[in-house]
Amino acid sequence: MRTPQEIEVSGFGLFSARPSRVLFRCAQSQSGIRFVHPAGSPSVAALIAFQRIASGPLGGRNTVIAIDAYAVATIEHLLSALAGLNIWHIDVVTEAGELPILDGSALGFVEALRESPVSAATPLQLNRPFRVDDAATGAWIEARPARSIRYRYELRYPPGSGIADQHFEWDGDPRHYNEEIAPARTFSLEREAIALKSAGLFPHLTPRDMLVIAPDGRPIDNTYRFPDEPARHKLLDLIGDLALLGRPLVAEVIAHRSSHALTHELCRQIAGAMDPKLGVRS
């Protein structure tokens, strides 16, 4: 039975295809964002220190946190929604497994939580830049000192992919997030979707459920919510992964073709330097 302070969201996991149910409870203290087993224990904080890479062929395609045997996967959309709403102290009650993917965006989480009280956290500010490069792909991500939040994702696919070069930015404003970023859905190229289906993955999904983009750039059996929806969704993921710092990062962050892995490494660098002498101040 839910109390008036509890909010429930349910669906199925993107990778597991299993039913998934989460219950949101107001944190009783400044405990941060925590994932809690329904029995009350174990629990794991949504912090980069607990980030893990899932095993199997899909490892690295989502964000996973774990402590001992308690693991929760595909948390990036929820963390993005919480950061966008400026909610930094909340308990997310769920069994070990995967959060519901909903429609592939963060909109369902935002709609469920938008009336929840803001629970702000002390921001992090940088004294120096941090950067992570992937020499193999040319992707990179950099966080630079700034007086306000400015996150930018630059999407670049090879010629013939069907997706034009595009970018999108967020200035930290919750309304901007709710209206312009939260509705952007996860996507894949048609050739990627065919390969994954051939491998027996995602049997529960069709192009009507998730964006599958044809070589001509048009979604198959679907329509874009925004002309630059792919870049907006990548920014959504970026915001969620940066939330693993546990507090808002007040910085200029530019992500160029970057992945979950690069953002996680950036978070590790920043978290490891949470000292004024090393480049971060509260």
pLDDT of residue 202: 84
282, pLDDT greater than 60:
no
First to last CA, the chain: 39
Q: Is the pTM of this model over 0.75?
A: yes
Residue 128 bridge partners (DSSP): none
219, pLDDT greater than 70:
yes
The length of the chain, given as a count of residues: 282
pLDDT of residue 2: 41
213, pLDDT greater than 50:
yes
Residue 26 bridge partners (DSSP): 90
Q: What are phi and psi of 87, to 5 degrees?
A: -110, 110
Q: Which of 77, 233, 260, 264 is catalytic?
A: 260
The letter for the amino acid at 70 is: Y
Share above pLDDT 90 across residues of the chain, in percent, rounded to a whole number: 79
Average pLDDT over residues 94-117: 94
Band of the pLDDT at 3, cuts 50, 70, 90?
Answer: very low
281, pLDDT greater than 90:
no
Looking at every residue in the chain, the average pLDDT score rounds to 92
Report DSSP letters for 166-226, one per residue: EEEEE-S-HHHHHHHTTTPPPEEEHHHHHHHHHTT--TT--TTTSEEE-TTSPBTTS--SS
Architecture of domain 124-281: 2-Layer Sandwich (3.30)
1, pLDDT greater than 50:
no
Determine contact, residues 162/215, Cβ cutoff 8 Å.
Answer: yes
- Average the pLDDT over each of 97-111, 130-144, 194-208 and give the range with the smallest value: 194-208
Average pLDDT over residues 61-89: 96
Under DSSP, the state recorded for 237 is H
Band of the pLDDT at 204, cuts 50, 70, 90?
Answer: confident
Q: Where are the domains of the chain?
A: 6-113, 124-281
pLDDT of residue 109: 98
231, pLDDT greater than 50:
yes
Check if 233 is active-site: no
| 176 burial via Cβ count (<10 Å: 0-12, 13-18, 19+) | middle
Determine contact, residues 116/8, Cβ cutoff 8 Å.
Answer: no
| Superfamily in which the 6-113 domain is placed by CATH | lpxc deacetylase, domain 1 (3.30.230.20)
